[in-house]
Amino acid sequence: MPTMDMPKPGPEHAKLMRFAGHWAGDEVLAPSPWGPGGPASGATTMRVGLDGMALLQDYEETKDGAVAFHGHGVFVIDPQGSDVLWWWFDSMGFPPDGPARGRWDGDVLLFEKTTPMGEGRYRYEFFGDRYTFAMSNRFPGQSDFTEMMRGDYARTA
C-alpha cells in the first residue's frame, strides 16, 4: 500500500503562528447575564502545537483582583481551504457546538459562529507585538450585535 506524505504547515499556518507567545492586557467587559461588566485584565499564552498544524491558546481573566474566568482555544487551518477554525472551551462549561470559522483580511482575523445560544463575531487585529480582540454577540430575540468584551494585549515574552 502506498504511503501518503504527512501534511506540512503552509503560509496560512505561518500567519496564524505569529500569535505564539505570552500576551497580557486590559479589557473592558459589557454588562451581561454573567456579570455587571467593567474593567478586567487578561493573560494569554499561545503556543505552536501538533507539529505546527495547530495554535493552542490558554487564557485567564482577572476581575476585581481575582481570577474570574479561564479559557482554552485550538486554532487550525481548514485543510479544504485557508479558513481558520477555532474551537473554544472555557470555565463556563458550555461544550463547543463546532468551531468558529474565520478569515484573514490583512492583519485582521474575523470569526463568526452560530449556536443555539445565539451568534458570535470575534475580531483579532494583529499589530506585531500587540493585538486587540473584540467579541460581539447577538442572542435570540435581539436584532443587533452587542460588543461583550474588548481587550488590548501586548507581548510579554
Tell me the residue length of the chain: 157
Contact 100, 122 (CB under 8 A): yes
Q: What is the pLDDT along the chain (157 residues), one digit of tens a residue?
A: 778 888 899 999 999 999 999 999 999 999 987 788 999 999 999 999 999 999 999 999 999 999 999 999 999 999 988 999 999 999 988 888 889 999 999 999 999 999 888 899 999 999 999 999 999 999 888 899 999 999 999 999 8
Q: Which CATH architecture has domain 11-155?
A: Beta Barrel (2.40)
As separate numbers, helices (DSSP H) first and strands (DSSP E) second, the chain gives: 1, 10
Q: Which of 147, 157, 129 is nearest to 37 (CA)?
A: 147
Please report, for the chain, the start and end positions of each structural domain, with discontinuous segments joined by +: 11-155
